[in-house]
Homo-oligomer: A and B are copies of this chain.
Amino acid sequence: MNRQGILIVVSGFSGAGKGTLMKELLSRYEQYALSISATTRAPRPGEEDGKSYFFKSREEFQQMIEEHALIEYACYVGNYYGTPKAYVEEQLADGKDVILEIEIQGARKVKEQFPKAVLLFVTTKDAQTLKERLIGRGTETLEVIEQRLARAVQESEGIEEYDYLVINDELETCVKEIHAIIESEHRKIERSMELIHNVREELKSFAKGES
């Protein structure tokens, strides 16, 4: 691959099926790589450093913040989570399309630092479906479901800042749709400048009779 990778931010309502979509994309197409987060939380059994997460001490994490080595970071229940810039940049340079699954605040920070990043928001076809999926999981209490729906209202306020809205009604269709969006993004003029330049120069040499 000699094409430059695209940084893809995926956000979406809890219950919209982001996790499954990402898993499918990664297993079907070699061109994608998942960004690996850095965290200060302790590894759980089976979690590997540099694979599940980059596990860091609080001091190491603080230093990464100070050195601007993180694209974005946040604190959840006493632990830091962030996106190491170096890993993302390496994968992009290697031609991989790097997927970052984060929320709106993080998405904004990514867009600031990577203006060419493509921002996708995943939704169900309507709110009723979202509610039913959350209930259907059977793993959440009614209270948690209500919290998630309240949160979805907040999340929905930021949708206009994304580039694409993807409706996860049928998994198969949705995976193909996301892949088509990324492939189309690779066809954008600003990502084709090298080819344009080459064709133009070659045409000029023909016009001068240099062929």
Contact = CB atoms under 8 A, between A and B. Distances in A.
Interface residues of A, number: 45
Given A183-B177, A183-B180, A199 B166 contact: no
Contacts of A199: 123-124, 126-127, 130, 156
A160 B131 contact: no
Interface of A: 121, 123-128, 130-131, 146, 149-150, 152-153, 156-157, 159-160, 162-167, 177, 180-181, 183-185, 187-189, 192, 195-196, 198-200, 202-204, 206-207, 211
Contacts of A124: 199
Contact of A165 (B149, B167, B187, B202): B187
A87 to B, nearest CB: 27
Contact of A156 (B123, B131, B167, B200): B200
B165 A195 contact: yes
Contacts of A156: 196, 199-200, 203
11 contacts: A123-B199, A124-B199, A149-B203, A149-B206, A149-B207, A156-B200, A159-B200, A160-B189, A165-B188, A180-B184, A181-B187
A196 B149 contact: no
Contacts of A163: 188-189
B165 A206 contact: no
Nearest to A160: B189
A202 B126 contact: yes
A206 B131 contact: yes
Given A153-B200, A156-B199, 17 more contacts: A123-B199, A126-B198, A126-B202, A128-B202, A131-B206, A146-B207, A152-B203, A153-B203, A156-B203, A157-B200, A159-B200, A160-B189, A165-B188, A165-B189, A165-B195, A177-B183, A184-B184
